[in-house]
Amino acid sequence: MLNDGLSAANAEFCTLTGEEQEKILRLQQSILESVTHGDSYLDVIRQVCKLEEQLLPNSVGSVMLLDSSGELLNVLAAPSVPPEGISQLNGLRPGPGGGSCGNVIYTQQPQFVSNTFTDPRWCNLRHLAYNFNLCSCWSVPVYSRQRKVIGTFALSSFEHRSPSPFHLRLLEIGASIISIMLDRNRSQETLRLFEQVFEGAEEGIMITDANARILSVNKTFTKILGYTQDELRGNTPKVFSSGQHGADFYRAMWKQIKAKRHWRGEIWNRRKNGEIFPEWLSISAVYDQSEQLTHYIGIFSDISELKNAEEQIQYLSTHDILTGLPNQTAFKDRLQQAIALAANRPGKVAVLSLDLDNFKLLNDSLGLHAGDELLRRVATVLKSCIADTDSLCRIGSDEFLLALPGCNDTETISTVVDSIIEKVRQPIRIAEQTLSLSCSVGIAVYPDDGSHYDSLVMRASEARRKAKKDGGNGYRYCTEQLNSNSFEFLRLAHELRDAVSLKQFVLHFQPQIDLASGQLVGAEALVRWSHPRDGLVYPGRFIDIAEQTGLVAELGNWVLREACTQAAVWRTLGFGPIVTAVNVSALQLRRGDMVGIVENVLRQTGLPPHCLELELTESILIENVEQTLAQLNQLKQLGIKLAIDDFGTGYSSLAYLNKFNVDRLKIDRSFVGQIGNPANDAIIHAIVQMGHALGQRVIAEGVETAAMRAHLLDCHCDEAQGYLFAKPLPAAEFAKLLAGYRQEFDRQPGPA
């Protein structure tokens, strides 16, 4: 088959030069040798890419295949393409703007693009062309045996070029070989799969000839019946007869097999040791293309084992494997029964949504095994808190649901919940460590907060999230306001997705002032949503939604680009080295491509790295510490500045501050707003001293009065921002503010 494909690919050799023909023959010979040596199909396909790269210098070869849905292309082999390139190519959607490969699938025709920077077929992938200097790309279809296009083979060059007849022949031969290897692999996989199914099946399988003489049985068959292959080969299934069935039973069975070519039913058979047992047997008659009977295939299961499995399945279908608690399905059934009883009495049912505070941090610190043990212990504690008439389930991770029938007043419910919180708070010793836990609980009550399962659980979960947001280790009742907030969340989440794609955002900039000199030294970029109906929406209404929906990464990247662009404009206008601060979300860092994004933005905007500062929240610094540290070190190597935002409200420690090479600490506005409180003032003073000891500048946010400024100066705080100096301003107004500061600076006398 492989030789046939190669012969077809060489049919027009006469159009090539002798040297080109020789190169193609050597390529084919190398592939044939790999196939002969038994190399895997994937190794052969990679070799095709590498060999053709050698014949087309300054290029890379790649093979992409459609996924099972037939809608997206993913890389199968691209030995010379870096991992970041492969990750960006994966999930390519075919279409007129989907590059050479996407257009091959879209048009079902080869595509030869000599200039990816201008060709409209690359309009959706232009960033890939620029980022990886892919100047031209030639792609041809890869076919299945049924001549259906299943993928592409492409040669991408770092030069703008068009294919010669020799290059077209290379592409044709490469695609043919790849098609053959894929088809061959599918055939081999099918055979291997059949063998594995036969030998690995949990059912006993027997194959006989047309006279019902046994030809082969699988391992499960011999294990259940107790016979060996040699003992059975040549015998008939009569050797298993139990004597429990009369002649009429077998006549009816064979009559159905002859009429319908299949029979299925329960039958009693005998093992080699004489034991009689029930089995569920399926017999199929096999015919060839000329409708001649050739074989019978019998497949059976020991019903006694099946019944045990059914009991286990029934248990697993209604229980959580980890804790042994009823699962959500069983809980829903019991809650609905409790609601029905309460409706007839009448009465009330309290629904509690509970999860552990900071469980992810504990789980990451202790390890998964200890985390599982912790959940089992908590489940035991919760069971001890409830009555037999109450219901409890675990619905995932550290989240539990409880239903408390007969709790007809708030006082009763609160007493039970207080008891639960107190018992969860008792120290637990796990992995040679004593842990002190806390939990957050949300409460919804039938019929006040809902009349059915879904509404009660949803509102209890909303209340739990409110309790957690308020600091955890407590509980909250469901309210109508919480319910209204959920609909507001859904509305804003839907509109926010459109807003991100339509770029419905603007940046405002708040000046950062050197307290000692009074000079404007920086600006924090703050995003605003220019909502088509609600007007200017502040981030307090949409940033949390953007984080929960994953849109914050795309929005954050837009803010970074816009802020750097604006900072570069101010720089060209002669406003000096203003440092522009941009907030970075945890999701942006978790994606792992932050360094490349920043580097690309700086290169495109021309902003010097030292004029950009990224503000990180304290919580980011304890998530995936090693990965975060590696990214921050690379960002520092670029020359940008790093700051810790809202300092003092998270989990920072001296160890973290020492490990992460940041330039500035930003004192949270909650501390600045309480200046005048002795304990609070001491905290501010300590933060400033600690920052200076670590070689960091300290900036305070939320400075609104001259008294605040004076106190910060007394504490030797370096910088400040807040309404005392200016509120966040649109870019044009901020430019006027810059000009005013510049004029004031120019009027100041120089040194004597």
Residues 274 and 374 occupy one common structural domain: no
Question: Closest Cα partner for 400 from 467, 305, 320?
Answer: 320
Residue 558 lies in a domain: yes
Q: With 50 as the cut, is the pLDDT of residue 249 above it?
A: yes
DSSP state of 243: S
Q: At which residue do the structure tokens 């040549």 appear?
A: 234
Where a domain ends, among 159, 176, 193? Answer: 193
Q: Spell out the residues 6+ positions from residue 53 whose beta carbon is closer than 8 angstroms to its own.
A: 59, 60, 61, 80, 155
CATH code of the domain containing 72: 3.30.450.40
| pLDDT recorded at residue 8 | 39
Residues 655 and 528 occupy one common structural domain: yes
CATH code of the domain containing 659: 3.20.20.450
Q: Is 344 exposed, middle or buried (0-12, 13-18, 19+ CB in 10 A)?
A: exposed
Contact 114, 79 (CB under 8 A): no
C-alpha distance from residue 547 to each of 91, 122, 375, 471, 586 (Å): 23, 31, 27, 19, 9
Tell me the residue length of the chain: 752
* Rg for the chain, CA atoms, rounded: 36
Residues 384 and 406 occupy one common structural domain: yes
Residue 691 lies in a domain: yes
C-alpha distance from residue 310 to each of 200, 293, 315 (Å): 21, 36, 9
Q: What six digits make up the tokens of 164?
A: 């010669």
CATH code of the domain containing 459: 3.30.70.270
Residues 178 and 229 occupy one common structural domain: no
Residue 131 lies in a domain: yes
Residue 190 is which amino acid?
T
| pLDDT recorded at residue 490 | 67
Contact 255, 234 (CB under 8 A): no
Q: With 70 as the cut, is the pLDDT of residue 5 above it?
A: no
Residues 499 and 467 occupy one common structural domain: no
| pLDDT recorded at residue 630 | 86
Question: Closest Cα partner for 622 from 592, 591, 586?
Answer: 586
Residue 377 is which amino acid?
R
| pLDDT recorded at residue 10 | 43
Count of beta carbons in the 10 Å neighbourhood of residue 556: 23
Band (726; pLDDT cuts 50, 70, 90): very high
Residue 369 lies in a domain: yes
User: DSSP alpha helices (H): ranges in 438-510?
Assistant: 453-469, 480-502
Residues 17 and 139 occupy one common structural domain: yes
Q: Tens of pLDDT along 38-93?
A: 788 899 999 999 999 999 999 999 999 999 888 999 999 999 999 998 999 999 99
Residue 656 lies in a domain: yes
Q: Which of 135-139, 502-506, 664-668 has the highest mean pLDDT?
A: 135-139
Residues 462 and 498 occupy one common structural domain: no
Count of beta carbons in the 10 Å neighbourhood of residue 493: 15
Band (564; pLDDT cuts 50, 70, 90): very high
Residue 285 is which amino acid?
A
447 prior amide bond cis, ω within 30: yes
User: DSSP alpha helices (H): ranges in 96-213?
Assistant: 99-107, 126-132, 165-200
Query: Residue 190 phi/psi, 5° resolution?
Result: -60, -45
Residues 615 and 717 occupy one common structural domain: yes
Q: With 50 as the cut, is the pLDDT of residue 6 above it?
A: no
Q: With 60 as the cut, is the pLDDT of residue 714 above it?
A: yes
Band (439; pLDDT cuts 50, 70, 90): very high
Residue 595 lies in a domain: yes
Q: With 70 as the cut, is the pLDDT of residue 610 above it?
A: yes
Residues 302 and 331 occupy one common structural domain: no
Residues 409 and 433 occupy one common structural domain: yes
Question: Closest Cα partner for 543 from 502, 588, 580, 510?
Answer: 588
Rounded CA separation 238/255 (Å): 17
Contact 608, 574 (CB under 8 A): no
515 vs 747: which has the higher pLDDT: 515
SS3 readout for 305-369: HHHHHHHHHHHHHHECCCCCCECHHHHHHHHHHHHHHHHHCCCCEEEEEEEECCHHHHHHHHCHH
98 vs 588: which has the higher pLDDT: 98
Q: Tens of pLDDT along 633-646?
A: 999 999 999 998 87
Q: Tens of pLDDT along 141-176?
A: 999 988 899 999 999 999 999 999 999 999 999 999
Residues 20 and 158 occupy one common structural domain: yes
Where a domain ends, among 136, 161, 193? Answer: 193
Where a domain ends, among 151, 167, 193? Answer: 193
| pLDDT recorded at residue 747 | 59
| pLDDT recorded at residue 655 | 58
Query: Residue 239 phi/psi, 5° resolution?
Result: -65, -20
Q: With 80 as the cut, is the pLDDT of residue 199 above it?
A: no
Band (621; pLDDT cuts 50, 70, 90): low
Contact 649, 680 (CB under 8 A): no
Band (28; pLDDT cuts 50, 70, 90): confident
Q: What six digits make up the tokens of 419?
A: 């008891």
Q: With 50 as the cut, is the pLDDT of residue 514 above it?
A: yes
Question: Closest Cα partner for 63 from 36, 89, 84, 39?
Answer: 89
What is the number of structural domains in the chain? 4
Residue 47 lies in a domain: yes
Residues 430 and 560 occupy one common structural domain: no
Contact 584, 615 (CB under 8 A): yes
Rounded CA separation 5/513 (Å): 73
- Containing structural domain, residue 111: 2-193
Residue 316 lies in a domain: no
Q: pLDDT above 70 covers what percent of the chain?
A: 92
Contact 511, 725 (CB under 8 A): yes
Q: What six digits make up the tokens of 310?
A: 């059914």
